[in-house]
Amino acid sequence: MKPRFKARVVLVTGAGSGIGEKAAVGFAREGATVAVNDLRPAKAAATVRKIERAGGKAFAVPGDVSDAATAASIVAAVEKRGRKLDILVNNAGTGIAGTVLNTSENDWDRLMRVNVKSMFLMSRAALPGMLRRRKGVIVNTASMVGVAAVKDRAAYTASKHAVVGLTRAMALDHVADGIRVNCICPGTTMTPWVTERVNESRDPKATMASMTARQPMGRLGTPQEIADGILYLASDQASFATGTALVVDGGFTA
Protein backbone atom coordinates (compact mmCIF):
# COMPACT_ATOMS: atom_id res chain seq x y z
CA MET A 1 0.00 0.00 0.00
CA LYS A 2 1.39 3.40 -1.00
CA PRO A 3 2.18 5.65 1.99
CA ARG A 4 -0.56 8.27 2.20
CA PHE A 5 1.78 11.17 2.90
CA LYS A 6 4.83 10.45 0.77
CA ALA A 7 6.74 13.64 -0.12
CA ARG A 8 4.44 15.81 1.98
CA VAL A 9 5.53 18.25 4.66
CA VAL A 10 3.41 18.22 7.81
CA LEU A 11 3.52 20.53 10.83
CA VAL A 12 2.00 19.23 14.07
CA THR A 13 1.68 21.57 17.04
CA GLY A 14 1.67 20.23 20.58
CA ALA A 15 3.47 17.14 19.31
CA GLY A 16 5.66 16.54 22.33
CA SER A 17 3.26 14.05 23.91
CA GLY A 18 -0.16 12.44 23.71
CA ILE A 19 -2.28 12.81 20.59
CA GLY A 20 0.14 15.17 18.87
CA GLU A 21 3.07 12.83 19.33
CA LYS A 22 1.13 9.85 17.97
CA ALA A 23 -0.02 11.92 14.98
CA ALA A 24 3.52 13.10 14.23
CA VAL A 25 4.85 9.55 14.38
CA GLY A 26 1.99 8.33 12.19
CA PHE A 27 2.57 10.95 9.50
CA ALA A 28 6.27 10.09 9.40
CA ARG A 29 5.53 6.38 9.23
CA GLU A 30 3.45 7.06 6.13
CA GLY A 31 6.14 8.99 4.30
CA ALA A 32 5.83 12.61 5.46
CA THR A 33 8.57 14.90 6.62
CA VAL A 34 7.24 16.09 9.96
CA ALA A 35 7.90 19.43 11.65
CA VAL A 36 7.40 18.80 15.36
CA ASN A 37 6.24 21.72 17.46
CA ASP A 38 5.89 21.87 21.21
CA LEU A 39 6.17 24.64 23.76
CA ARG A 40 8.82 22.52 25.46
CA PRO A 41 11.93 22.12 23.25
CA ALA A 42 13.01 18.91 24.99
CA LYS A 43 9.64 17.29 24.28
CA ALA A 44 9.75 18.29 20.61
CA ALA A 45 13.27 16.90 20.33
CA ALA A 46 12.19 13.63 21.95
CA THR A 47 9.44 13.13 19.36
CA VAL A 48 11.90 13.87 16.56
CA ARG A 49 14.29 11.24 17.93
CA LYS A 50 11.47 8.70 18.12
CA ILE A 51 10.61 9.33 14.46
CA GLU A 52 14.21 9.18 13.33
CA ARG A 53 14.88 5.94 15.22
CA ALA A 54 12.00 4.40 13.27
CA GLY A 55 13.55 5.55 9.99
CA GLY A 56 11.34 8.60 9.45
CA LYS A 57 12.12 12.23 8.69
CA ALA A 58 11.45 14.99 11.21
CA PHE A 59 12.79 18.20 12.65
CA ALA A 60 11.87 20.30 15.67
CA VAL A 61 10.28 23.75 15.57
CA PRO A 62 9.57 24.49 19.24
CA GLY A 63 7.83 27.65 20.38
CA ASP A 64 4.67 29.27 21.70
CA VAL A 65 2.09 29.05 18.91
CA SER A 66 -0.21 31.47 20.74
CA ASP A 67 2.30 34.28 20.10
CA ALA A 68 1.87 35.95 16.70
CA ALA A 69 5.55 36.50 15.93
CA THR A 70 6.50 33.01 17.04
CA ALA A 71 3.70 31.39 15.04
CA ALA A 72 4.81 33.22 11.88
CA SER A 73 8.46 32.27 12.46
CA ILE A 74 7.57 28.59 12.97
CA VAL A 75 5.71 28.39 9.66
CA ALA A 76 8.48 30.32 7.90
CA ALA A 77 11.07 27.90 9.26
CA VAL A 78 9.04 24.90 8.08
CA GLU A 79 8.55 26.37 4.59
CA LYS A 80 12.25 27.21 4.34
CA ARG A 81 13.40 23.75 5.34
CA GLY A 82 10.67 21.76 3.61
CA ARG A 83 10.19 24.24 0.74
CA LYS A 84 6.42 24.03 1.39
CA LEU A 85 3.82 23.17 4.02
CA ASP A 86 1.21 20.69 2.83
CA ILE A 87 -0.61 19.89 6.08
CA LEU A 88 -1.02 21.87 9.29
CA VAL A 89 -2.31 20.08 12.38
CA ASN A 90 -3.34 22.58 15.05
CA ASN A 91 -3.23 20.26 18.02
CA ALA A 92 -1.76 22.38 20.84
CA GLY A 93 -4.25 22.98 23.62
CA THR A 94 -4.95 22.94 27.32
CA GLY A 95 -7.88 22.60 29.69
CA ILE A 96 -9.18 23.76 33.03
CA ALA A 97 -12.12 22.89 35.26
CA GLY A 98 -14.59 25.49 36.45
CA THR A 99 -17.90 27.22 35.97
CA VAL A 100 -18.34 30.84 34.90
CA LEU A 101 -18.51 31.79 38.58
CA ASN A 102 -15.22 30.24 39.66
CA THR A 103 -13.12 30.62 36.50
CA SER A 104 -10.70 33.52 36.82
CA GLU A 105 -10.35 36.07 34.06
CA ASN A 106 -6.69 35.11 33.67
CA ASP A 107 -7.56 31.43 33.23
CA TRP A 108 -10.28 32.30 30.71
CA ASP A 109 -7.86 34.44 28.68
CA ARG A 110 -5.13 31.79 28.82
CA LEU A 111 -7.48 29.06 27.63
CA MET A 112 -8.75 31.14 24.72
CA ARG A 113 -5.21 32.14 23.79
CA VAL A 114 -3.87 28.58 23.73
CA ASN A 115 -6.94 26.77 22.40
CA VAL A 116 -8.31 29.27 19.89
CA LYS A 117 -5.94 32.14 19.16
CA SER A 118 -3.07 29.75 18.42
CA MET A 119 -5.13 28.09 15.68
CA PHE A 120 -6.03 31.47 14.19
CA LEU A 121 -2.38 32.55 14.21
CA MET A 122 -0.95 29.32 12.83
CA SER A 123 -3.59 29.09 10.11
CA ARG A 124 -3.06 32.73 9.17
CA ALA A 125 0.66 32.04 8.79
CA ALA A 126 0.18 28.80 6.82
CA LEU A 127 -2.61 29.82 4.45
CA PRO A 128 -0.65 32.15 2.10
CA GLY A 129 1.65 29.32 0.98
CA MET A 130 -1.27 26.95 0.56
CA LEU A 131 -3.14 29.58 -1.46
CA ARG A 132 -0.16 30.02 -3.80
CA ARG A 133 -0.13 26.28 -4.48
CA ARG A 134 -3.95 26.08 -4.41
CA LYS A 135 -3.63 23.03 -2.24
CA GLY A 136 -3.42 22.32 1.46
CA VAL A 137 -5.03 20.72 4.48
CA ILE A 138 -5.62 22.03 7.99
CA VAL A 139 -6.82 19.77 10.81
CA ASN A 140 -7.75 21.28 14.16
CA THR A 141 -8.06 19.39 17.42
CA ALA A 142 -11.37 20.33 19.04
CA SER A 143 -13.23 18.11 21.52
CA MET A 144 -16.51 16.35 22.09
CA VAL A 145 -17.38 19.45 24.14
CA GLY A 146 -17.06 21.40 20.91
CA VAL A 147 -20.40 19.87 19.90
CA ALA A 148 -21.89 19.23 23.34
CA ALA A 149 -21.01 20.18 26.94
CA VAL A 150 -20.03 18.69 30.27
CA LYS A 151 -20.45 20.14 33.74
CA ASP A 152 -17.76 22.28 35.32
CA ARG A 153 -15.90 23.02 32.07
CA ALA A 154 -17.33 26.40 31.01
CA ALA A 155 -14.20 27.99 29.56
CA TYR A 156 -12.96 24.77 27.97
CA THR A 157 -16.35 24.08 26.38
CA ALA A 158 -16.53 27.63 25.02
CA SER A 159 -13.03 27.38 23.58
CA LYS A 160 -13.71 24.10 21.80
CA HIS A 161 -17.01 25.35 20.37
CA ALA A 162 -14.93 28.22 18.99
CA VAL A 163 -12.53 25.74 17.37
CA VAL A 164 -15.41 23.98 15.62
CA GLY A 165 -16.79 27.32 14.45
CA LEU A 166 -13.42 28.53 13.20
CA THR A 167 -12.94 25.24 11.36
CA ARG A 168 -16.25 25.58 9.53
CA ALA A 169 -15.65 29.24 8.70
CA MET A 170 -12.20 28.57 7.23
CA ALA A 171 -13.53 25.58 5.32
CA LEU A 172 -16.12 27.74 3.56
CA ASP A 173 -13.72 30.63 3.04
CA HIS A 174 -11.18 28.44 1.24
CA VAL A 175 -13.10 25.57 -0.33
CA ALA A 176 -12.71 27.21 -3.77
CA ASP A 177 -8.97 27.56 -3.18
CA GLY A 178 -8.28 23.83 -3.02
CA ILE A 179 -7.82 23.90 0.75
CA ARG A 180 -9.66 21.55 3.12
CA VAL A 181 -10.19 22.40 6.81
CA ASN A 182 -11.59 19.88 9.28
CA CYS A 183 -11.46 19.20 12.99
CA ILE A 184 -11.45 16.15 15.20
CA CYS A 185 -13.54 16.04 18.38
CA PRO A 186 -12.03 13.51 20.79
CA GLY A 187 -13.78 12.14 23.82
CA THR A 188 -11.87 11.80 27.07
CA THR A 189 -8.52 10.34 26.06
CA MET A 190 -5.83 8.83 28.25
CA THR A 191 -3.11 11.33 27.44
CA PRO A 192 -0.25 12.27 29.80
CA TRP A 193 -2.12 15.52 30.54
CA VAL A 194 -5.23 13.63 31.65
CA THR A 195 -3.10 11.24 33.71
CA GLU A 196 -1.51 14.20 35.50
CA ARG A 197 -4.92 15.73 36.26
CA VAL A 198 -6.19 12.41 37.62
CA ASN A 199 -3.13 11.97 39.84
CA GLU A 200 -3.49 15.54 41.15
CA SER A 201 -7.07 14.92 42.29
CA ARG A 202 -7.97 14.19 45.90
CA ASP A 203 -8.91 10.61 45.06
CA PRO A 204 -7.26 9.49 41.78
CA LYS A 205 -8.95 6.08 41.84
CA ALA A 206 -12.42 7.60 42.26
CA THR A 207 -11.71 10.28 39.66
CA MET A 208 -10.66 7.68 37.11
CA ALA A 209 -13.69 5.53 37.88
CA SER A 210 -15.99 8.54 37.41
CA MET A 211 -14.41 9.47 34.08
CA THR A 212 -14.70 5.89 32.85
CA ALA A 213 -18.29 5.47 34.04
CA ARG A 214 -19.56 8.33 31.85
CA GLN A 215 -18.18 6.64 28.73
CA PRO A 216 -20.70 4.34 26.97
CA MET A 217 -17.82 2.08 25.88
CA GLY A 218 -16.70 1.77 29.48
CA ARG A 219 -13.19 3.06 28.81
CA LEU A 220 -11.26 6.15 27.78
CA GLY A 221 -9.88 6.63 24.30
CA THR A 222 -6.22 6.19 23.43
CA PRO A 223 -4.03 8.83 21.80
CA GLN A 224 -3.48 6.47 18.87
CA GLU A 225 -7.22 6.21 18.18
CA ILE A 226 -7.49 10.00 17.94
CA ALA A 227 -4.31 10.31 15.89
CA ASP A 228 -5.72 7.80 13.40
CA GLY A 229 -8.70 10.13 12.92
CA ILE A 230 -6.39 13.10 12.33
CA LEU A 231 -4.44 11.17 9.70
CA TYR A 232 -7.67 10.21 7.95
CA LEU A 233 -8.88 13.83 7.79
CA ALA A 234 -5.48 14.93 6.46
CA SER A 235 -5.32 12.22 3.80
CA ASP A 236 -6.66 12.04 0.27
CA GLN A 237 -9.12 9.43 1.54
CA ALA A 238 -11.03 12.39 3.02
CA SER A 239 -10.86 14.43 -0.18
CA PHE A 240 -14.61 15.19 -0.09
CA ALA A 241 -14.56 16.24 3.57
CA THR A 242 -14.24 19.89 4.55
CA GLY A 243 -15.90 21.71 7.43
CA THR A 244 -16.27 18.34 9.12
CA ALA A 245 -16.23 17.87 12.90
CA LEU A 246 -15.27 14.20 13.25
CA VAL A 247 -16.44 12.99 16.65
CA VAL A 248 -14.38 10.13 18.12
CA ASP A 249 -15.71 9.83 21.67
CA GLY A 250 -16.73 6.25 22.37
CA GLY A 251 -20.40 7.15 22.05
CA PHE A 252 -20.43 9.95 24.65
CA THR A 253 -22.40 12.37 22.45
CA ALA A 254 -24.56 9.71 20.78
Please tell me whether residues 141 and 28 are part of one structural domain: yes
pLDDT for the residue 197: 79
pLDDT for the residue 46: 98
pLDDT for the residue 196: 85
Residues of the chain with pLDDT under 50: none
Please tell me whether residues 200 and 161 are part of one structural domain: no
Name 153's bridge partners: 98
Quick check: is 250 in a domain?
no
Quick check: is 246 in a domain?
no
Q: What residue numbers bound the domain in which 74 lies? A: 9-186+222-239
Quick check: is 63 in a domain?
yes
pLDDT for the residue 213: 85
User: Does 156 qualify as catalytic in the annotation?
Assistant: yes
Helices 118-133 & 154-174, crossing angle to 10 degrees? 10
Q: Per residue in 87-111, pLDDT tens? A: 999 999 999 999 999 999 999 999 9
| Strands ordered across the beta sheet of 9-12 | 57-60, 33-36, 9-12, 87-90, 136-141, 179-186, 245-248
Question: pTM score, two decimals?
Answer: 0.96
CATH of residue 174 = 3.40.50.720
Quick check: is 254 in a domain?
no
CA–CA gap between residue 241 and residue 91 (Å, rounded): 19
Please tell me whether residues 112 and 205 are part of one structural domain: no
Amino acid at 179: I
CA–CA gap between residue 72 and residue 102 (Å, rounded): 34
Alpha helices in the chain (DSSP H): 18-29, 41-53, 68-82, 105-112, 118-133, 154-174, 192-200, 204-213, 223-234
Please tell me whether residues 124 and 199 are part of one structural domain: no
Please tell me whether residues 59 and 79 are part of one structural domain: yes
pLDDT for the residue 186: 97
pLDDT for the residue 193: 81
Quick check: is 71 in a domain?
yes
Buried b (16+ CB within 10 A) or exposed e, 125-145: bbbebbeeeeebbbbbbbbbb
Instruction: Supply angle C-alpha 118, 142, 32, rounded to 5.
Output: 75
Amino acid at 114: V
Please tell me whether residues 115 and 201 are part of one structural domain: no
pLDDT for the residue 82: 94
Catalytic residue among 5, 27, 156, 252: 156
Please tell me whether residues 32 and 158 are part of one structural domain: yes
CA–CA gap between residue 142 and residue 156 (Å, rounded): 10
pLDDT for the residue 37: 98
Of 188, 163, 178, nearest to 249 (Cα)? 188
